[in-house]
C-alpha cells in the first residue's frame, strides 16, 4: 500500500518509537552516571534498573502494534519516512528473535560486570573477573541461538554494530592490513623519536583539552566533560552531549582521548533535530562513528599543522616537562611508532594489531578454543608475538578494556574499520575543502566540521554504512587509502 506523511499509521509508529527513544535516553543517563559519579555500592541496584528499562524497551518494540504498523507502512514513499520504517523494521526483526527476559539479563550482567571489571582492573586480578566474562559468553551464546540462519556465530554479534558486514568481510580487510602493519613496525619501531617525560599536572591537562575543544566548537551550554576510568561519549537527547576522558600526570594521553571522544560527540550533536526521539537520531554504524573519533584524534590532532597552532599554547602550561622540547621534536614524539601493551595509548600503526588481536580472541572465546581461565596467558603470548612486548600484569593486559565486561563482543573490529573509513572520508574532505593544513595552523576547524555535518552527521541513521560511504567517497570500504596514508606518514 502507499502511505503518505501524516497518515495515522505513520504518526502512531513515530509516537511509539519516540517513547522507546525516551527510555533509551534514560538508559544512557543511568549508564553515564554509573561510570562518572555513582558510588561503587550502587552497582547492583543500578543493574536492576537498567534491566527493567531494557525489558520495557524490548516489550514496546516487539509489540503486536509495532509489528502491524510496520506491515501497514511497507509502501511508505517519502525518503525520511522510508528510512525510519527501514531502521525500525530492522530493530523489530532482530529484537523479536530475542526473549525479553534474555535482553534484561544481558543488561543486568553488563551493569554487574563493569563494576566487577573496575575492581579487578584496580587489583590487576583477572581471576575475580573471570566468572563475569564466563557469564557474558553464556549470554552471548543464548543470544546467537536466536539467529540460527546466520552463517557464523560472530556474524550475529558483528551485525549488531555493522549492518550487513560479515566476519569474512572483516577478515578480508584485516588480512590485508596485518601484513603491511607488521612491515611498518619492523621498519620504524625504535627510530629514535624522543620520549616525553612528565609530570603533566592534571589541572593543566584539563585546561589544554578545553582550549582544543573550544576551537573544535564545544558549547558548554550543551556539552560537558568528566573524568572516568574508561573514556566514552554519549548523547542523552537534543542539546545534551556528555564526553568523558581519563587523565594521569605521567602522560598526555587524555588530550588525544578527549579529541577522540569529541569525534563521537560531535557526530551525535549534529544529527538533524528532525530525527530526535526516533531510530534515525543515532549514528549509522560503529565504523562510521569510530571513523569520526579517529579522524579528530589522529588526522587532525596528530597533524603537524594542528601543532603549529596548538603547541605554542601547550608548552607554557608545562614549562618543566616541555620547556626544552622543540615543536618538531614534540610532533615526532606524539607520532612515533612505539609498540606497547595498551591499546588506548597505541600509535596509529600498532593500534591496528591491538584490534586484530582482540578480533581473533573474541572468535576463539566464542568457539571455545580458548578457555576463559587461559585467556591471560594466551593474551600475553599474542601480544608478544604481534607487538614484541611483554605484558607486565593483567591490568595492562587482558583487563585493560571494559568492552567484554558489558557484553560488547563484535565491537572491537569497528575501531579498525573506522580507521580505514576515516582516511577515505578525509581524502574526499581535503579534495573538496582545499588547504585544510593552513586552516589548522590558524586554529580554524569550522569548515571541516561543517563539511562533515552536511555529508555525514546530519543524516543520523538514514543511510547504511555502505550507502553513506558511497555517497561521501564514491567507493566501497577500501583499506588501500589508509595503508597509503600510513606509508606516506611513516616513510
Torsion angle of C-alpha atoms 236, 238, 239, 244, degrees rounded to 10? 30
End-to-end alpha-carbon separation of the chain, Å?
A: 59
Q: Which residues contact 261 (CB under 8 A, 6 or more apart)?
A: 225, 231, 232, 233, 243, 244, 245, 293
What pairs with residue 241 in β-bridges? 223, 235
Could you give the count of Cα atoms lying within 13 Å of 331 in the half-sphere of its Cβ?
Answer: 18
Which of the 8 DSSP states describes residue 226?
Answer: E
- Alpha-carbon distance of 157 to 403, in angstroms, equals 13
In contact, 474 and 466? CB cutoff 8 Å: no
What pairs with residue 227 in β-bridges? 245
What pairs with residue 224 in β-bridges? 242
In contact, 241 and 216? CB cutoff 8 Å: no
- Alpha-carbon distance of 17 to 487, in angstroms, equals 46
| Cα 368 versus chain centre, distance | 27
Respond yes or no: is residue 444 known to be catalytic.
no
Which cell is 172 given? 578480508
In contact, 289 and 267? CB cutoff 8 Å: yes
Choose, from 261, 270, 297, 348, the residue flagged as catalytic. Answer: 261
User: How far are the Cα atoms of 328, 331, 342, 424, 445 from residue 311, in angstroms, in the given order?
Assistant: 10, 9, 25, 28, 16
Which cell is 328 given? 618538531
- Alpha-carbon distance of 69 to 76, in angstroms, equals 11
In contact, 205 and 323? CB cutoff 8 Å: no
Active centre residues (catalytic): 261
Amino acid at each position: 500500500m502507499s502511505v503518505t506523511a501524516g497518515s495515522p499509521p505513520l504518526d502512531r509508529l513515530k509516537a511509539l518509537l519516540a517513547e522507546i527513544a525516551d527510555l533509551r535516553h534514560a538508559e544512557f543517563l543511568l549508564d553515564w552516571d554509573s561510570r562518572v559519579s555513582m558510588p561503587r555500592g550502587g552497582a547492583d541496584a543500578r543493574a536492576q534498573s537498567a534491566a527493567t528499562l531494557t525489558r520495557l524497551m524490548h516489550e514496546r518494540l516487539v509489540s503486536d502494534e509495532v509489528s502491524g504498523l510496520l506491515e501497514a507502512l511497507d509502501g511508505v514513499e517519502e525518503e525520511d519516512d522510508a528510512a525510519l520504517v527501514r531502521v525500525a523494521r530492522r530493530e523489530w526483526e532482530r529484537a523479536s528473535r530475542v526473549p525479553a527476559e534474555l535482553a534484561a539479563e544481558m543488561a543486568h550482567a553488563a551493569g554487574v560486570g563493569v563494576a566487577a571489571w573496575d575492581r579487578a582492573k584496580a587489583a590487576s586480578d583477572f581471576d575475580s573477573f573471570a566468572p563475569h566474562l564466563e557469564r557474558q559468553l553464556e549470554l552471548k551464546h543464548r543470544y546467537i541461538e536466536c539467529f540460527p540462519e546466520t552463517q557464523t556465530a560472530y556474524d550475529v554479534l558483528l551485525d549488531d554494530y555493522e549492518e550487513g558486514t560479515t566476519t569474512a568481510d572483516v577478515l578480508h580487510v584485516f588480512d590485508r592490513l596485518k601484513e603491511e602493519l607488521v612491515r611498518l613496525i619492523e621498519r620504524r619501531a625504535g627510530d629514535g623519536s624522543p620520549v616525553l617525560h612528565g609530570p603533566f599536572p592534571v589541572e593543566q591537562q584539563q585546561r589544554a583539552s578545553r582550549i582544543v575543544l573550544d576551537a573544535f566548537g564545544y558549547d558548554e551550554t550543551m556539552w560537558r566533560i568528566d573524568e572516568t576510568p574508561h573514556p566514552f561519549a554519549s548523547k542523552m537527547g537534543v542539546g545534551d552531549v556528555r564526553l568523558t576522558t581519563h587523565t594521569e600526570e605521567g602522560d598526555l594521553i587524555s588530550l588525544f582521548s578527549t579529541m577522540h571522544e569529541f569525534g563521537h560527540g560531535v557526530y551525535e550533536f549534529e544529527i538533524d533535530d528532525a530525527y530526535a526521539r526516533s531510530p534515525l537520531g543515532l549514528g549509522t554504524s560503529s565504523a562510521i562513528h569510530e571513523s569520526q573519533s579517529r579522524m579528530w584524534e589522529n588526522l587532525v590532532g596528530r597533524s603537524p599543522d594542528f601543532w603549529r597552532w596548538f603547541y605554542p599554547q601547550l608548552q607554557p602550561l608545562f614549562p618543566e616537562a616541555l620547556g626544552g622540547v622543540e615543536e618538531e621534536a614534540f610532533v615526532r614524539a606524539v607520532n612515533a611508532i612505539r609498540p606497547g601493551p595498551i591499546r588506548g595509548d597505541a600509535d596509529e600503526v600498532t593500534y591496528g594489531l591491538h584490534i586484530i588481536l582482540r578480533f581473533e580472541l573474541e572468535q576463539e572465546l566464542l568457539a571455545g578454543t580458548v578457555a576463559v581461565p587461559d585467556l591471560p596467558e594466551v593474551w600475553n603470548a599474542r601480544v608478544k608475538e604481534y607487538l614484541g612486548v611483554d605484558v607486565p600484569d593483567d591490568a595492562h593486559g587482558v583487563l585493560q578494556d571494559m568492552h567484554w565486561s558489558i557484553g560488547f563482543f563484535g565491537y572491537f573490529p569497528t575501531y579498525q574499520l573506522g580507521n580505514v573509513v576515516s582516511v577515505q572520508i578525509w581524502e574526499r574532505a581535503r579534495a573538496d575543502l582545499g588547504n585544510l593544513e593552513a586552516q589548522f595552523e590558524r586554529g580554524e576547524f569550522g569548515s571541516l566540521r561543517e563539511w562533515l555535518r552536511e555529508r555525514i552527521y546530519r543524516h543520523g541513521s538514514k543511510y547504511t554504512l555502505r550507502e553513506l560511504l558511497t555517497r561521501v567517497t564514491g567507493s566501497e570500504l577500501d583499506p588501500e587509502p589508509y595503508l597509503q596514508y600510513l606509508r606516506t606518514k611513516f616513510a
